[in-house]
Homo-oligomer: A and B are copies of this chain.
Amino acid sequence: MDDLAAPAPASVGFTYTVAASQTLGLAVILVVGAWMGVYRGGFAWESPELQFNAHPLCMIVGMVFLQGDALLVYRIFRNESKRSTKILHGLLHALALVIALVGLIAVFEYHKKKSFPNMYSLHSWCGIAAFSFYLLQWLLGLVFFLCPGVSFSVRSRYKPQHVFFGVFLLVLSIATALLGILELLLFKIRDSYSSLVPEGVLANVLGLLLVAFGAALAYILTRDGWRRTPLAEEQALSMDFKTLTGGESPAGSP
């Protein structure tokens, strides 16, 4: 039991990859902020043009950075209790949803004020699908993993689906962000984009940074050796449950 009680140290590869992912995530937020601030006039909720600028920033902070980091909490806080980590995971996703909702309101209000049509482009179709399924995934996660009445057996059957769709929705959100970048560039600087003007290059770099952030997160999440292992007390609890229930273990839930 002494061996089990010692916290599992994070490997050097894991630490560097997490550091790289966070650097990329912060770079993504800085670059989208700089793009909107320097080339698109900044942010102001009351002005239609500047209200739109909250859309890219909020969607990237919510649907990419916070959604992505919420997936990492089980890997990063591997020595905290399962319950605390689970609550942090749910709260980060809730914050992501609220910030993304502000971003959605910004674009729909902007369209309304300017009498622009809604929901015709591939960006909007992918975006509304990503947001709706993300909300559904959050609600299902709440029911399956935080409601006390759900059995461990049901939880452990749903868990692999929850994990797969979590990574899928992050990837879909990043693909939607790439579509949004290209759509905005072709609406705003269509004629000068092909001359590699600074705004076009900055926005393309933002796209590549988003791809790199997604790749780093997907890499961390798919390494078998970097998965969270149950803590000593969870191991002991798991053994008690195995004895009591004939195989079902609470350590199997995310």
Contact A178 B122 (CB under 8 A): yes
Q: Please, which residues of chain B bring their CB within 8 A of the CB of A116?
A: 194
Are the CB atoms of B168 and A218 closer together than 8 Å?
yes
Point out the residues of chain B lying under 8 angstroms from A174, CB to CB.
175
A135-143, A146-154, A200-208: which lies at the interface: A200-208
Residues of B within 8 A of A193 (CB): 120-121
Is A211 positioned at the interface, with any CB of B under 8 Å from its CB? yes
Find A194's partner among B117, B171, B195 (CB 8 Å cutoff): B117
Within 8 A of B (CB), among A114-167: 116-117, 120-123, 125-126, 129, 160, 164
Residues of B within 8 A of A126 (CB): 178, 207-208, 211
**A28 to B248 Cα, complex, angstroms:** 42
Copies assembled:
2
Q: Establish whether residues A182 and B129, one from each chain, have CB atoms under 8 Å apart when the complex forms.
A: no
- The answer, among B164, B207, B215, for a CB contact under 8 Å with A122, is B207
How far is B183's CA from A190's CA once the two chains are assembled, in angstroms? 11
Is A76 engaged at the interface, CB distance under 8 Å to the other chain?
no
> Is A185 within 8 A of B122, CB to CB?
yes
Q: In terms of DSSP, what is the predominant structure of the interface of chain A?
A: helix
Question: Considering only CB atoms, which chain B residue lies closest to A161 in the complex?
Answer: B219
Q: Is the CB–CB distance between B219 and A164 below 8 Å?
A: yes
Q: Is A196 an interface residue when CB atoms closer than 8 A count as contact?
A: yes
The answer to whether A11 has its CB under 8 Å from any CB of chain B is no
Contact B222 A182 (CB under 8 A): no
Are A175 and B125 also in contact (CB < 8 A) when A120-B196, A193-B120, A196-B120 are?
Answer: no
- In contact, B204 and A164 (Cβ under 8 angstroms): no
Q: Out of B123, B186, B194, B215, name the residue touching A168 (CB < 8 Å).
A: B215
Query: Is A181 close to B, CB under 8 A?
Result: yes
Chain B residues lying within 8 Å of A73, measured Cβ to Cβ, are none
Please indicate the chain B residues that have their CB under 8 angstroms from the CB of A121 in the complex: 182, 185, 193-194, 204
A92 at the interface (CB under 8 A from B): no
Question: How many Å lie between the Cα of A125 and that of B179 in the bound state?
Answer: 13
Write out the residue numbers on chain B whose beta carbons fall within 8 Å of the beta carbon of A168: 215, 218
Residue of B nearest to A125 (CB): B204
Nearest 3 Cβ contacts at the A-B interface: A117-B194, A175-B175, A122-B207
